[in-house]
Amino acid sequence: MKTVSENRCYGGTQGVYSHASTATGGEMTFGLFLPEEAQLGEVPVLWYLSGLTCTHENAMTKAGAQGWCAEQGIALVFPDTSPRGDDVADDEAYDLGKGAGFYVNATQDPWKPHFKMWDYICDELPALLGAEFAVDLERQSITGHSMGGHGALTIAMANPGRFKSVSAFAPIANPTKSDWGRKQLGAYLGADESTWAKHDASLQMRDVGFDGPVLIDQGSADQFLQLLKPETLAEAMAARRQEGLFRMQKGYDHSYFFMSSFMEDHVTFAAEALYA
């Protein structure tokens, strides 16, 4: 593992690190905020999964989360959204290829050699964090935005007992029925739509739900509402009798202004579960 940068931040440290990844077959970069308490012992972990076109850096510099995590004594992880490198397959469209890994393990060419973001987030990066940093992997929560909200929800529901809570900002809620999903799941996973269901938060909510609290924030003025399909997730949560809260925030769009406005709520929500 290489240290790219480390900066003093809210009494703790905001670091950026890179490492050779077995899952993606190349060099991966991630951000990690460690609060001051990490100097004394292990601290709980909140994962933040970013959306389309993002790297580890977008939320790290725009979401305003570190200050709230410092107040709660929580580490905050910012993974990348896809593999990178000259030998990694890409597409001219912004919503496929680099920056658009969709948190799946690709089974189709040309994506399958590198696009293993499910394994990277679920297995490889947690193991690295546990080995290298003062984090308590027995106390994890997860959140994310848009494509990252999709990833947070599907990963949380597929790994019962791992995360104390899950939350999302404007998640891609029903990708098997959306152009933000059908295109990508078809490309990465192939034409057999039975393999897609694991990566649809609305379908998984109806089928298995989450074994903890859920918080969803969606802006009413989001320019991508037709692609996100939040109503399907809200209906699935109600049908499942899922412990949680779905909030439609009047006038907010899909931007980081929306996320930063409600970040305190999401960090506090995670902290309540992590320290319960």
> What average pLDDT does this structure show over 231-236?
98
78 in Cβ contact with 60 (< 8 Å): yes
Provide the CA 104 distance to its chain's centre, in angstroms: 12
Rounded distance between C-alpha atoms, residue 98 and residue 53, angstroms: 8
Q: What is the pTM of this model?
A: 0.98
List, by residue number, the catalytic residues: 146, 222, 254
Instruction: Calculate mean pLDDT across residues 264-276.
Output: 98
Model pLDDT for residues 24-70, shown as the tens digit of each residue:
999 999 999 999 999 999 999 999 999 999 999 999 999 999 999 99
Q: What is the mean pLDDT of the chain?
A: 98
Confidence of residue 242 (pLDDT cuts 50, 70, 90): very high
pLDDT at 188: 98
- 2-274: CATH number: 3.40.50.1820
The domain segmentation of the chain, as residue ranges, is 2-274
